[in-house]
Chains A and B, each alone.
Chain A
Amino acid sequence: MLHEVLLIARKDLRVEWRSKVTLGQVAPMGLLVLVVFAFAFDANTRLLELGAGGLFWVAVLFGGTLLIQRAFEVETDDGNFDAFRMSTIRAPSLFLGKSLGIFIQVVLLELVLGPGIVLLYNVRIDDWLLLLAAALGGTLAFSVCGVLWGVMAAGTRVRATLLPLLLVPILAPVLLAGSRAFETAFGVRAEAGWTWASLMFVIAAVHAAVGMGTFGFLLEES
């Protein structure tokens, strides 16, 4: 199974490496979102510092949604969805492989956005461990949710607009938990950041289990 998962993830990453969409378009777009927020808050450093956690995850949501759309656009383009279904790779492996590919791309996006919020929003990091754990949990949750809902939208003609419509409400708890955990890590909120970080791992685990169980059905019915 690991071989199949890596095969799918490697193919997706190779497609992205060749097209340079992640680093060439999505990451700059994410940075632009951060800059726009800075303008929207009138460069109020205190406000930006307080809201940095939430703004980071909103930027990840925007950029990540584009990455998920792209991941399924590659599969639906040129009739590839049929080939995707005709392959002998088992559905749970397809699900995990797509999720792993998205996960790595979102991590790359976050590596660009992270320094962005530190520089633009004057953020000070108090708890690195919590920050990394929250980023890991949030990215995992984002990746598996994105692939699960991405395949549902992939078979429709209105997938470009349907995916954000499906994904944003589903990812709202991740957005909330990620924001709270980051705010604690930044030292602007004295709440239980680890509880919020744990919640994201739970969301990721639940969606991963549902995805592995239903991806084959969703693929056939899309």
Chain B
Amino acid sequence: MSTVVDFQKVVAVAGGFPVLAGLDIEITKGEIVHLRGSNGVGKTSFLRACAGLLQIQNGDATVLGFDLRDDRIAPRRYIGLLGHENHLYKDLWVREHLEFRAAAVGADQHDVEAALQRIGVSERLWAVPIERLSAGQRRRVAIASVLVGRPQLWLLDEPHAALDREGREVLDEILIDAASSGATVVLASHERDLSKSVTSRVVTLRGGRLWEDSGAA
């Protein structure tokens, strides 16, 4: 199994506060890792560090074979990030937004319709401005934006937020499919049931460090 994320004693600081305080974690290809922990333990910071959006101050950090201390931009083309926010251009129509995102990550435009259908965004909404969508529909469009890029590493922060039951099930299927086709998924979530149905490993953070690691379930 090849290593996708390898953090050794990683320290990262945000706003003068050490959000990652010597984190050691290794994630291999095809895993679906559920990040858990209380608010402020470093889950989001870990995802952002993996995406190269948070600078590593100390330690060794490699993502998809790229040393983040040398180059934190290069791995981004293989990463799909979904944060707390949806990263949506609210004035654009759903389809326009997806087409832009697909072009921006060098994805195939033909995948746009497939991604929207897969996540269950009804065709009647494709020509509707995103600002008119409900919170759940926006979350689905945001997930479709990640899906369309066919990332090798999915970094998802509370991806189930605002989704209804059907949406959660569809998302879980997407994540399982992605992992079975060789992608790696790391998702931060407070949902306890998630670990049983989807994830292959549960990692708990505390104080910016690894606190508990279930390993392979």
Q: Is B a genuine binding partner of A?
A: yes
Binding site for B on A (CB under 8 A): 7, 11, 14-15, 18-19, 74, 77-80, 82-83, 85-89, 216, 220
Interface residues in B54-72 by Cβ distance below 8 A to A read none
| 7 A-B pairs closest in CB distance | A79-B85, A83-B87, A87-B104, A18-B91, A19-B91, A88-B77, A15-B91
Q: Is the CB of A85 within 8 A of B100?
A: no
Determine the chain A residues whose CB is within 8 A of the CB of B88 once the complex forms. Answer: 78, 80
Whether B53 lies near A14 (C-beta < 8 A) is no
B203 at the interface (CB under 8 A from A): no
Contact B96 A14 (CB under 8 A): yes
Bound-state CA distance A206–B73 (Å) is: 26
Closest beta carbon of chain A to B202's beta carbon, Å? 26
Assess whether B92 is in contact with A18, with CB atoms less than 8 Å apart. yes
A-B contact pairs, 29 of them (CB 8 A): A7-B103, A11-B92, A15-B92, A18-B93, A19-B91, A78-B85, A78-B88, A78-B89, A79-B84, A79-B85, A79-B86, A80-B87, A82-B51, A82-B53, A82-B81, A82-B87, A83-B81, A83-B87, A83-B104, A83-B145, A85-B53, A86-B51, A86-B79, A86-B81, A87-B104, A87-B105, A88-B76, A88-B106, A216-B73
Considering only CB atoms, which chain B residue lies closest to A20 in the complex? B91
Contact for B90 among A78, A83, A87, A220, CB less than 8 A? A78
Q: Which chain A positions have C-beta within 8 A of B79?
A: 86
Residue of chain B at shortest CB distance from A221 = B55
The answer to whether B105 and A88 touch across the interface, beta carbons within 8 angstroms, is yes
| Residue from A14, A74, A77, A88 having most chain B Cβ neighbours under 10 A | A88
Tell me if B87 and A78 are in contact (CB < 8 A): yes
B side interface size, CB within 8 A: 28
Closest to B81 in A: A86
Give the shortest distance, in Å, between B150 (CB) and chain A (any CB): 13
Tell me which of B51, B89, B105 contacts A15 (CB under 8 A).
B89
Bound complex: CA A80 to CA B103 (Å): 16
A19, B88: Cα distance in complex, Å = 14
Which B residues from 90 to 111 make CB contacts under 8 A with A?
Answer: 90-93, 96, 100-101, 103-106
- Chain B residues, CB < 8 A from A7: 100, 103-104
Q: Which residue of A lies closest to B72 (CB)?
A: A220
Given contacts A15-B89, A18-B92, A19-B91, contact A82 B103 (CB under 8 A): no
- The answer to the question of B167 belonging to the interface, with a C-beta cut-off of 8 Å to chain A, is no
Determine which residue in A15, A78, A86 has the highest number of CB atoms from chain B within 10 A of its CB, and name it: A86
B104 interface neighbour in A14, A15, A88, Cβ under 8 Å: A88
Contact A83 B101 (CB under 8 A): yes
B77 adjacent to A11 (CB under 8 Å): no
Residues on A with C-beta less than 8 A from B91 are 15, 18-19, 74
Rounded to whole angstroms, the CA-CA distance of A85 and B89 in the bound complex is 15
Bound complex: CA A74 to CA B48 (Å): 21
CB distance from A151 to the nearest CB of B (A): 16
The CA-CA distance from A146 to B73 in the complex, in Å, is 25
Cα of A78 to Cα of B142 in the assembled complex, Å: 11
Q: Does B207 contact A (CB under 8 A)?
A: no
Chain B residues 117 to 160 lying within 8 A of chain A, measured CB to CB, are 129, 145
Inter-chain contact B83/A82, CB cutoff 8 Å:
yes
CA distance A88 to B73 in the complex (A): 9
Q: In the complex, A77→B100 CA distance in Å?
A: 16
| In the bound complex, CA of A137 to CA of B103 (Å) | 31
User: B84 to A89, Cβ gap below 8 A?
Assistant: no
Cα-based distance from A19 to B89 in the complex (angstroms): 11
What's the Cα separation between A88 and B81 when bound, in Å?
Answer: 13
A86→B76 contact, CB < 8 A: yes
